[in-house]
C-alpha cells in the first residue's frame, strides 16, 4: 500500500450547529465559512449506502480551517443520513476523511 495519503478534512456530527459554532468561537478558533444547507433533492444521482434515499435528506454544514486541518461540522436536519445514524448510535463525534485518487 502506498504511503502518500493526505488528510482532507475531519467531519464532526453534531446536534446543534449554533451552539457548537459559538463554543468553537469562544475558544478563539478562526472564523467559520458561511453555512451551507445540503439538500438531497438537489442531486439526481445521490446514493446513501448504495441506494437512493427514501426521503429528502437535509444537513447544515459549516467549515473552518484550523492550521493545516479543515474541520467540517454537520448537523442532520431532516431525513435519514449517515450523520443522523452516527448521532443516534454513538452521540456527537467525528470521522476522518482522506481523498483517494
CATH code of the domain in which 71 resides: 3.10.180.10
pTM of model > 0.85: no
Residue 58 counted as domain residue: yes
pLDDT reported for residue 87:
92
Contact 21, 73 (CB under 8 A): yes
- At 7, the pLDDT band (50, 70, 90 cuts) reads confident
Count of structural domains within the chain? 1
Mean pLDDT of 5-30: 89
Q: What mean pLDDT comes out for the span 72-93?
A: 90
Q: What is the DSSP string of 60-97?
A: EEEEEEETTEEEEEEEEEES--HHHHHHHHH-SEEEEE
DSSP conformational letter for 6: -
- Alpha-carbon 20 to chain mean position: 13
| Residue 2: inside a domain | no
1 is a domain residue:
no
**21's torsion region: left (phi>0), alpha (psi -120 to 50) or beta?**
alpha
Residue 4: inside a domain: no
Identify whether 52 is part of a domain. yes
pLDDT digits (tens, 9 = 90+) for 32-67: 999 999 988 777 787 777 877 777 889 999 999 988
Domain holding 59, by residue range, is: 9-97
Amino acid at each position: 500500500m502506498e504511503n502518500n495519503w493526505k488528510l482532507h478534512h475531519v467531519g464532526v456530527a453534531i446536534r446543534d450547529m449554533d451552539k457548537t459554532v459559538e463554543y468553537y468561537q469562544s475558544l478563539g478558533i478562526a472564523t467559520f465559512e458561511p453555512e451551507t444547507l445540503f439538500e438531497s433533492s438537489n442531486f439526481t444521482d445521490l446514493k446513501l449506502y448504495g441506494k437512493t434515499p427514501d426521503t429528502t435528506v437535509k444537513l447544515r454544514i459549516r467549515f473552518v480551517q484550523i492550521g493545516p486541518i479543515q474541520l467540517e461540522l454537520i448537523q442532520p436536519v431532516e431525513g435519514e443520513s449517515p450523520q443522523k445514524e452516527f448521532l443516534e448510535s454513538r452521540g456527537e463525534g467525528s470521522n476522518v476523511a482522506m481523498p483517494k485518487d
